[in-house]
Structure 1
Amino acid sequence: MRRSGGQQDGDERLLVATDVRKAFAGTVALAGVSLRLEPRSTVGLIGPNGSGKTTLINCVSGVVRPDAGSVRVGGVDLAQRPSHARAKAGVARTFQNIRLFRDLTVAQNCEVALVAQPRARRAETLPVAEVLELLGLADAARERSSALSYGAQRRAELARAAVTAPRFLLLDEPAAGMNERETEELIAAIRALRERLGCGVLVVEHDLGLIGALCDTVEVLDAGNCISRGTPQEVRADPAVIEAYIGGGGEPDRADRAGGTDRTPTPGQIEQTEEVSQ
């Protein structure tokens, strides 16, 4: 990935994962994957189901511990530290499945996140009202989260992570199950948060439209390996990526005349299904 001028891996502004490896019961999920996340940048992480995307975000966020490799935030290796060490370092995440407290209001869900913050981070948090306004949820602040539309629940979970003012925001399939309008609202919300917080954003997604609209660079995983990285346009045209998604055949942007379909992977060809993570 691109490096900002003068920044080193030890710079407190960077999250750098290097040669991360993980296996479950002898099955290799990650075979040595690296990534770099900088402030105000958005990195997309894509790949077929089972390619290791969720395992990587779990290793970076501390949900699981890698078998080898490092996860450095501000030059400090947190790979073998618990998830609350990531929170203290300013790392926040969302999950594939919505994990709001259904009987609490939207505002209360955000307040829970603030209470759970390490004492050293509490002074850096954002007002709940400001974040809800930013994400178009101000009118829903006193509503129970269970009463919200699906898209609004997704944005409420994003708000809960954002009130902690993370330096790095990790989003695991944030658009899963959304319709087109909800996805557009989510894209606008993520952009607004990135600008307000100045944070680096890592997005795991199957929706390539969202990836193309949001991301500066894209990493492509297949069978636990990084097979391509570059801009969304470069990755879309990479034959290795096309092979991984659709099993070969077709040149970039060449339509299949007989079937009337684009042979290049598109959001419509890659279903939004939950990746199976050990």
Structure 2
Amino acid sequence: MTQEKYYFENPKSSIRSLTEDEIEAAIADYENGVKISEICQKYPKLKVSSFYKQLPYKLNQEKCEYCNNQIYTKVRKNGYGNDLAKLCIYCNHDYTKNCNCEQCFHNTNVALEEKRKELQIVWKNFYTEYYNLNYTLNDISIFDEIYLVLLIQSYKGTFENTLDFSYFKQLRFQVHASSHEYYSVINNLIDRKILIPNIYYFDSYDYIYSSEPSLPTINSTKINWIPNIIKTSGTLLSVSELDKILKERTYSVEDKKILWREVYWSEIKSYIDYQINI
């Protein structure tokens, strides 16, 4: 099938009204840096507005790397480099890194899937090694219990038995940049592994990315979390189960004394830290 010499992205391009020689001359003038206003003075039929978009692609001998049809090329917009813009009008491949043609879309998905599988292996190995110890309810303080109840009320995620901190800015707690800032309630529980990532929630390398092959970096606002507290059966308590237990729990006078002691020490520690950092 014979291909047209020119391809106009804009079917209403004013340049279509020119002869072939005039089209070639207009393209050459633009490529050589002649002002658009001067080109339009030379060819009165042309419109100054969106001039570059009106320029046509020109048939090239190069074949498309995907469908093997001849591609079209176009001079780059002034100031955007000297290489030609390329386009295959049959499969819409445009040779850019953001190309959304069917084949590039497929290739991108294949690459993402391969990356996801690689990181899943890294993640599972890391998870098994790093989160291999569990708490019991007797191991956590009353202070921690209260914070866990508040977190569950505020951050219980779409997935019923996980905590989702992705909207922390709109809620009562803030996740700080440094995971070692004790006054960040969420990160304090994460650092102590009272809260751990939900291993089954990992479905994209956007959630866990690796700066070193053996150690993923975890963003606390981009992955769902679960309590690392075991039942007598040895399995982990779900968020719902933990919430029910903590809400139904009663506290003795001695428990309350311990709680206020923990609150007192927490406030003192916060004050000292504030004084050190001002």
For normalisation by structure 1, the TM-score amounts to 0.18
Larger of the two Rg values belongs to structure: 2
Greater per-residue strand proportion: 1
Q: Which has the higher helix share?
A: 2
TM-score normalized by structure 2?
Answer: 0.18
